[in-house]
């Protein structure tokens, strides 16, 4: 029968063997997990690079330029329609000396200026009238209760602000404005401006209330 001194090395050897077995099992388990994850990733890559996935991406790329061309053509047709309407209004009302701003707006300013021209950042007060091309009034303000706003903050339609930028106190102005410089595709139901409407602004009076 082995002595206690002889049992100790045997017990230590047995413990080391059990630890080695557990470490081996753990390593095998980790290897299996990594192999499984690799298979899953490979499967996803295969799906992503499958012919059907490539075809879908190719179709989406081909459809995008087509949609852009359709939108561009629609914008061109709308701009041409607005231009014809504005030219017709100018002919009907005998306004041959109108100037153009390069964005479809025609305008005219007259009178003797008695101050500096309007510029962005200045608060202005105007008496004006807003009409549709058929003469329907959609908005107005007089000298007793003028429309006041800070020029350049885009609180008002771009067409009105641009007309005022060409004016100075003492002058009057007229502008025929395409939809994109007015109330655009949505219009202003409360004011009676229909969607995609050309507008006529008549500014009779301009002052700078804080000067």
Q: What is the pLDDT of residues 135-164, one digit of tens each?
A: 999 999 999 999 999 999 999 999 999 999
- Round to whole Å and give the CA distance between 46 and 41: 9
Contact status, residue 176 vs residue 105, Cβ threshold 8 Å: yes
The SS3 call for residue 199 is strand
Tens digit of pLDDT for each residue in 59-82? 555 556 777 887 777 778 888 999
Q: Is the dihedral of CA 77, 83, 85, 87 positive or negative?
A: negative
pTM: 0.67
β partners of residue 139: 130
Q: Kind and range of the H or E element at 82? A: helix 51-92
pLDDT at 62: 57
Q: What is the mean pLDDT of the chain?
A: 79
Residue 180: name the closest of 95, 81, 66 by CA. Answer: 81
């Amino acid at each position: 029968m082995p002595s206690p001194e002889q049992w100790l090395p045997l017990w230590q050897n047995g413990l080391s063997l059990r630890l080695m077995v557990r470490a081996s099992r753990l390593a095998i388990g980790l290897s299996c997990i990594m192999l499984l994850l690799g298979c899953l990733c490979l499967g996803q890559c295969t799906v992503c690079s499958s012919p059907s996935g490539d075809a879908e991406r190719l179709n989406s790329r081909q459809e995008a330029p087509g949609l852009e061309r359709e939108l561009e053509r629609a914008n061109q047709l709308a701009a041409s329609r607005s231009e014809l309407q504005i030219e017709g209004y100018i002919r009907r009302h005998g306004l041959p000396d109108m100037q153009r701003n390069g964005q479809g707006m025609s305008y005219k300013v007259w009178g003797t200026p008695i101050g500096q021209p309007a510029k962005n950042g200045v608060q202005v007060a105007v008496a004006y009238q807003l009409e549709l091309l058929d003469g329907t009034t959609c908005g107005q303000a007089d000298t007793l209760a003028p429309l006041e706003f800070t020029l350049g903050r885009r609180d008002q339609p771009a067409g009105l602000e641009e007309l005022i930028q060409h004016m100075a106190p003492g002058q009057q102005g007229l502008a025929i404005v395409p939809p994109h410089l007015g109330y655009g595709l949505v219009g202003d139901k409360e004011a009676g401006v229909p969607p995609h409407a050309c507008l006529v602004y008549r500014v009779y009076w301009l002052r700078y209330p804080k000067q």
